[in-house]
Chain A
Amino acid sequence: MKVNRFLGFVSVLLLAAFVAACSNQAATNEPSSPVEAAPTDAPAIGAPVAAATEAPAPAPTAAPQATTAPAAPTASGGSTLQTIKDRGELICGSNDQVPGFGSVDASGQTVGFDIDFCRALAAAIFGDPNKVTFRPLTAQERFTAVQSGEVDVLIRNTTNTLTRETVNGMDFAPTNFFDGQGIMVRKSDNLNTISDLDGATICVQSGTTTELNLADAFRAVGASFTPAVFEDANGTFSAYDAGQCDAVTTDKSGLASRRLSLSSPEDHVIMDVTLSKEPLAPAVLQGDAQWRDIVTWVIYGLFNAEEYGVTQANVQEQLSSDDPNIRRLLGVEGELGAGLGLDNDFMVKVISAVGNYGEIYDRHLGPNTPINIPRGPNAQYTDGGLIYGMPFR
């Protein structure tokens, strides 16, 4: 009986502790209980400015910095930037299966075009491009990883689409690679148009826009195909290589990069058809304007650096440049970095760490790499491309 009473006591104690813990949670998170709190949360989406003025308390550290950006703090009670700073590293959702964009090299390092943008962000925040953890994400889990706050930013050749901005709750930064979906086939098959592929088996990765575009494109010309859908890029391309499919489809950049890892690359050709526009852009979770601005302007900064000729090698010399554009970009003039909650010389750190946009491109995708994708739409606007950095002003 003693034990009985003891147990009763313990259960009451546990209950009390639990209630206390819960109310504590409620007090720090939201003023009222979670279910009731939801409606007060809802206007934050419709009217972010109002919400920000209503709830200044949750982000005390970020508030003084956020002078220019009307930073609507996330309901989590702290700006993303502060969370990252407190953690001491950036968590970047990345790809590790597309050589050139993101892959693991023989020494176990994650490298690639997208990876360098993660490093650039880490450099902008911490001044150290290595203060970043790469979280390899599959196509299926990437959006949930952003939604749940598991990764701070998603730079994993992800196409910017309307649904993803609305339904999936993403906020896209400027496109860092303009791509289009293509189809790779065997040279010996002599295929030129989508109609030629009527009745073919086509390898495609599941959970991508690619999968949807493929169905659309065939429907448009009234052709039929048998899909062979795989969960990851490795599976997709090894099945194509083994001859299980007549064609394989993904972004043209991916095709170019993956062609090299086929057993005999010269036997394959990327067809001269483009199924879709695929603007690949970094994405962050909706609701933290400051954090989105940081990602956005680091990318614009990289674009501008190329335009103005600021490179990894000459960035220190350029600090004494007379060009006001360069002076503002590098933070010699103005308080532009502070507006983002960063140091004014954040672009100096970024460029010293990874170089400008052109350098990143050449390092991973340029003519000296096995992948070798021509700049095309990814050239500076001055060279007839679409890369156009907004002014640092």
Chain B
Amino acid sequence: MSTTAQELERPQQQSDVGAWLRQNLFNGVLNTLITIVLVIFIPIVLFLIVRWAIFEATWQPVATNFRLLMTGRYPIEHVWRIQACMAIIYLLFGLSAGIWQGMVRTIGIGLVGFAIFFALFPFSVSARLWLVGSVVAALVGYFVGRPFSSKLRIPVIVLWLISPFIFWLLIRGGMLGLPLVTTNLWGGLLLTIILAVVGIIASFPIGVLLALGRQSKLPIIKWCCTLYIELVRGVPLISVLFMAVLMLPLFLPSNIRIDNLVRVLVAITGFSAAYLAENVRGGLQSVPRGQYEAASALGLNVFQTTFLIVLPQALRAVIPALVGQFISLFKDTSLVSIVGLAELLGIAGIVINQPEWLQVTGGVEREVLLFAALVYWFFCYTLSKISRRIEAHLGVGTR
């Protein structure tokens, strides 16, 4: 049969372009048809998109409102504080990349790529300088971190640990001579990132406790945790946000006023904790029984077993799932625009409705929304790639 003959010959032809084409694009009538259709279809669509993006689209609203999109109504005279935060992050990533290489370097390269990519846009000079400055900070960090990796290890870890407090101080102010910038002025990508990061950090301990509670042998605790997890997972986030914004103030004494941002954070944390608990539970179940038995044979009690033996293994197994959780939280922050916080999507809505762009034929919705989508996409895609790498990395370790 001729086909078997071809099959046998194939290994020798592998380097051949023609063979590759035959194998990947023209192996069979159906595939050939699909290939022909796609070869005609894809370039046309790409051409239309590129032509639109370069010649027809009005990117002006994105460029002039870049600051608004990134930081919301944060006072312009204080924007340097956010820029400082970003520079610190880049510097820390640069240092860490220099010290640890590997994974961290990949993330760092992603961040630098992000800054360079946006620096290419025709934004205001100061915005582009800020982006370039951050890249420089990262590079400086990298080339400082590499030679002194052993000495800088501990200081950099300490810096990472205290960095959230530094960022909070810088962004909010109200201390050390920095004027207070109230949370209603926070917005744009800044708010998106704050919501996602604070949400995931705050929901982590709660999620772990809920997961442990659900696995508990004590029936009341088990049922309460299960009830909470299932209740929260059964309703949409937007309804939880709505409830937090409308009802949380009713549940507290009227002399306690809580900031809208805090309310939303409470909702996001409570919501994300339930999902996180399910991920952690998966991890807990993956820890073999032998581990429990070995621990109790060594005379460890329940708490020692849980916190020293089981949880470390369980959490290690669920790191990719946790990153996935963070990605979905990052995307879900776009819902807070419905309850009146102006994060990236909320600001995009404001920009679209600015009177300056009314006369633009076809409106500017596509441009502004595409920009917002691109920013979200960039973050989520990078994170999902990182998650996959961690997964592969951990997989090697366990085998």
Using a CB–CB cutoff of 8 Å, the interface residues on chain A facing chain B are 1, 3-4, 7, 25, 29, 74-78, 83, 97, 99, 104, 106, 108, 133-138, 141, 144, 147-150, 231, 234, 238, 260-263
Contacts and interface: CB of A to CB of B under 8 A. Distances in A.
A104 to B, nearest CB: 7
Nearest to A110: B73
B75 to A, nearest CB: 8
A135 B184 CA distance: 7
8 contacts: A4-B301, A25-B253, A29-B255, A134-B184, A148-B249, A148-B254, A150-B249, A263-B358
Given A138-B340, A148-B254, A263-B359, 4 more contacts: A3-B304, A135-B184, A141-B339, A149-B249
A147 B250 contact: yes
A75 B355 contact: no
A136 B187 CA distance: 13
A4 B363 CA distance: 66
Contacts of B359: 263
SS class, residues of chain B in contact with chain A: helix
B73 A104 contact: yes
A133 B186 CA distance: 13
A325 to B, nearest CB: 39
A99 B350 CA distance: 13
A74 B253 CA distance: 12
A77 B353 CA distance: 42
Nearest to B303: A3
B355 A148 contact: no
B354 interface: yes
A141 B246 contact: yes
B250 A148 contact: yes
Nearest to B68: A108
Nearest to B361: A263
Given A136-B340, A141-B245, A104 B350 contact: yes
Contact of A261 (B249, B250, B340, B355): B355
Contacts of B249: 144, 147-150
B324 interface: no
A220 B59 CA distance: 48
Contact of B303 (A7, A74, A133): A7
Contact of A141 (B304, B340, B350): B340
A55 to B, nearest CB: 14
Given A99-B355, A135-B260, A141-B245, A234 B349 contact: yes
Contacts of B353: 97, 234, 238, 261
B250 A78 contact: no
Contacts of B349: 234
Contacts of A260: 355
B257 interface: yes
Contacts of A78: 255
A136 B68 CA distance: 17
A137 B340 contact: yes
B31 interface: no
A234 B358 CA distance: 12
B182 interface: yes
Contacts of A149: 249, 254, 257
Pick from A7, A29, A144, A260 the residue with the most CB of B within 10 Å: A144
A103 to B, nearest CB: 9
Nearest to B304: A3
A135 B185 CA distance: 10
Interface string B253-264: 111010010000
A29 B253 contact: yes
A144 B303 contact: no
Contact of B358 (A147, A148, A262): A262
A48 B75 CA distance: 44
A96 B340 CA distance: 11
Contacts of B352: 234, 238
B355 A76 contact: no
Contacts of A133: 182, 184
Nearest to B252: A148
A150 B68 CA distance: 26
Contacts of B254: 74-76, 148-149
B255 A77 contact: yes
B182 A1 contact: no
Nearest to B359: A263
A144 B359 CA distance: 37
Nearest to A30: B253
Contacts of A7: 303
A182 to B, nearest CB: 21
Interface string B224-255: 00000000000000000000011001100111
Contacts of A147: 249-250
Contacts of A136: 340
Nearest to A135: B184
Contacts of A141: 245-246, 339-340
Nearest to A89: B182
Contacts of A238: 352-353, 363
Nearest to A265: B358
Interface in B334-378: 338-340, 349-350, 352-356, 358-359, 363
Contacts of A77: 255
A5 to B, nearest CB: 11
A251 B318 CA distance: 55
A238 B363 CA distance: 10
Contacts of B339: 141
Contacts of B73: 104, 108
A74 B246 CA distance: 20
Nearest to B365: A238
Contacts of B303: 3-4, 7
A75 B356 CA distance: 48
Contacts of A3: 301, 303-304
A144 B355 contact: no
A118 B326 CA distance: 40
A134 B76 CA distance: 18
A391 B257 CA distance: 36
Contact of B301 (A1, A76, A104): A1
Nearest to A97: B353
B125 to A, nearest CB: 18
A306 B116 CA distance: 57
A227 B349 CA distance: 23
